[in-house]
Amino acid sequence: MATDIVVGKEGRVVLPKKIRDRYGVKEGDRILVREFGSQIILIPVDRYDKPTKALHGSIRTRKKIDEPKEFARNYMQRKLAEEFA
């Protein structure tokens, strides 16, 4: 689905209501902006009251991870790159 929108003052864009409703995007929600080739991709970001609790057990490792945040960040970047490759 393609929708034509206008970039407003300070680079702001308004997502059409149909798209906001379809993906459950509400005022104050965060959206990840990614560049992929010559495209701009918007990805809704789920928010949790306790993000570490939501992530607990989502990544299995064979050895101890010294920097879990950095490891998780790199893991998600690789997964997104694979998804949009």
Please state the rounded mean pLDDT for residues 12-16.
Answer: 92
8 A C-beta contact, residue 44 and residue 23: yes
Residues sharing a CB contact under 8 Å with residue 47, sequence separation 6 or more, in sequence order:
29, 30
Question: Where are the chain's structural domains?
Answer: 1-47, 48-85
Q: How far is residue 73's CA from residue 52's CA, in Å, rounded to a whole number? A: 13
Q: What is the pLDDT of residue 83?
A: 81
Which residue is listed with tokens 């064979």?
62
Each residue of 26-76: pLDDT tens digit? 998 888 888 989 999 888 887 666 666 666 666 677 777 778 788 888 888
Type and span of the H or E element at 34: strand 30-36
Q: What is the pLDDT of residue 7?
A: 93
Identify the CATH assignment for 1-47 out of 3.30.420, 3.40.30, 2.10.260, 1.10.3470: 2.10.260
